[in-house]
Structure 1
Amino acid sequence: MFTGIIEELGTVGTMNGRPDSIRLTVLADKVLGGTNIGDSIAVNGVCLTVTDMSESFFSADVMHETMRRSSLKDIRSGSAVNLERAMQMGGRMGGHIVSGHIDGTGTVSRIVQDGIAQFIYIKTPPELIPYIVEKGSIAIDGISLTVAEVGETEFSVSVIPHTMGNTTLPNRPVGACVNLETDIIGKYVRRFTEPYGGKKNTLTLSTLLENGF
């Protein structure tokens, strides 16, 4: 599990293709501290397992399915990537609960300056819109952000200068593909309440208690 608070910008080193996967090497510094082989690091929001490492890089195997379903398909040697180690229990929860399992990808549709901040609009697959809530949380390329507005085909986030200066967002122009992970709590709530959609007065307190709420 992660928090969506980016610890470091890494740089993609080599990308070695294999018959069933790609061996990705990322040059890094901070996220290597306390990391061991077998640990998880989120790369642009995608949870990857460290398979090799040194004092200046780590490697991970990325399945072809992951490449197809995430924005990792667009990275190349030299690309900057957002990095975050798995969170430690007992530490500060600065962002929100992020699993590192991407729900889909979106496309940057507009960027609007708003004082010192920027509104970034993301065109989103229709199946993800119901899970995106105004003032709720969403992870874009692994970055924990607050949803400003939600429409029928897109949503927006307001990004402060600190986030712009310490993540890959400045490298995401209009038309760029980004990884999206919606709030895990919202997904569970929707899943538990789906059987009661459209049925008047069928969702009761006892039903919620039976399902762990």
Structure 2
Amino acid sequence: MYTGVVESTGRIQDVSRYENGARVRIAADTTGIKPEDSVNVSGVCLTVESVDDDGFEAFLSSETVRRTYLADLTPPVAVNIERPLSTTGRFDGHVVKGTVDTVTEVVDVTRLGDDRRFTFSIPEGYRQYLVEKGAVALDGISLTVTDCAEETFSVAVVPTTDEVTALSEKTVGDPVHFEADILAKYVERQRTIAGY
């Protein structure tokens, strides 16, 4: 489990595609990362296969390739890095599982003073999980929805988030990993079961 509070950024250096998956090489600070650890890479929970002083490698299953854009990247590309929440750590964001639902895209970026407002398309079938002031994970970043229309939703990105995450490199048309709030999913599931 993660919090969506990005610890650092890295860069995908290499992507190798296979018949049933892919492998990525990520240049990153590997302090505290060892083989078999789970690491959130721009919202995608990956298992570290190998690690050295310059970065680590991870395998993408066919399901991960299908639901994410990682295997389609042309390196080098900046990615967000977060290690799992420790039992003694502070919980600063919201519950982020690192199980990406789908990919959305940036449709607008506007500067509002020191902040930037990012607007994204709402992925088909996920409108019910987005509410104003609710949580959403985008590329693994815990963000608050500022407003929600029929086909788009927006978030405000404060200067610190802009500086320490790979979101600063996103422009209109770029893909972004979308993970709906797991609590919203459970509420929707219970509502569906109850028939209202």
After TM superposition, the score normalised by the length of structure 1 is 0.88
What do residues 28-80 of structure 1 show as CA deviations (whole Å, max 9, x unaligned)?
11xx2222211100111000000111122111001233223212144222111
Aligned to 1:10: 10
* Structure with more of its chain in strand, by fraction: 2
Moved over 6 A (4+): none
Q: Looking at CA atoms only, which structure, 1 or 2, has the larger radius of gyration?
A: 1
What is the distance in 2 between the residues matched to 1:189 and 1:90? Answer: 28
**Separation of aligned partners in 1, 2:94 and 2:115:** 21
What is the rounded CA distance, in whole Å, between the counterparts of 2:35 and 2:179 in structure 1? Answer: 25
Alignment correspondent of 2:175: 177
Instruction: Give the whole-Å Cα distance in 1 for the aligned partners of 2:179 and 2:109.
Output: 20
1:105–1:124 Cα contact (<8 Å) kept: no
Please list, as runs of the form range in 1=range in 2, the aligned pairs for 1:58-69 lying within 5 A after superposition.
58-69=56-67
Shift in Å, 1:92: 0.6
Amino acid aligned to 2:12: V
Helix, strand or coil for the counterpart of 1:4? coil
Cα RMSD (Å) of the superposition? 1.3
1:18, distance to aligned residue in structure 2 (A): 2.7
The unaligned stretches of length 5 or more in structure 1 are 199-213
Match of 1:98 in 2: 96
Per the alignment, residue 21 of structure 1 pairs with: 21
Unpaired segments of 5 or more residues in structure 2? Answer: none
- State the Cα deviation string for residues 90-127 of structure 1 (Å, max 9, x = none): 21111111000011111111112211111111011231
Match of 1:72 among 70, 73, 76: 70
- Count of residues paired in the alignment: 196
Pairing of 1:81-120 with structure 2 (within 5 A): 81-120=79-118
Q: TM-score, normalised by structure 2?
A: 0.95
| 1:108–1:176 CA contact under 8 A, matched in 2 | yes
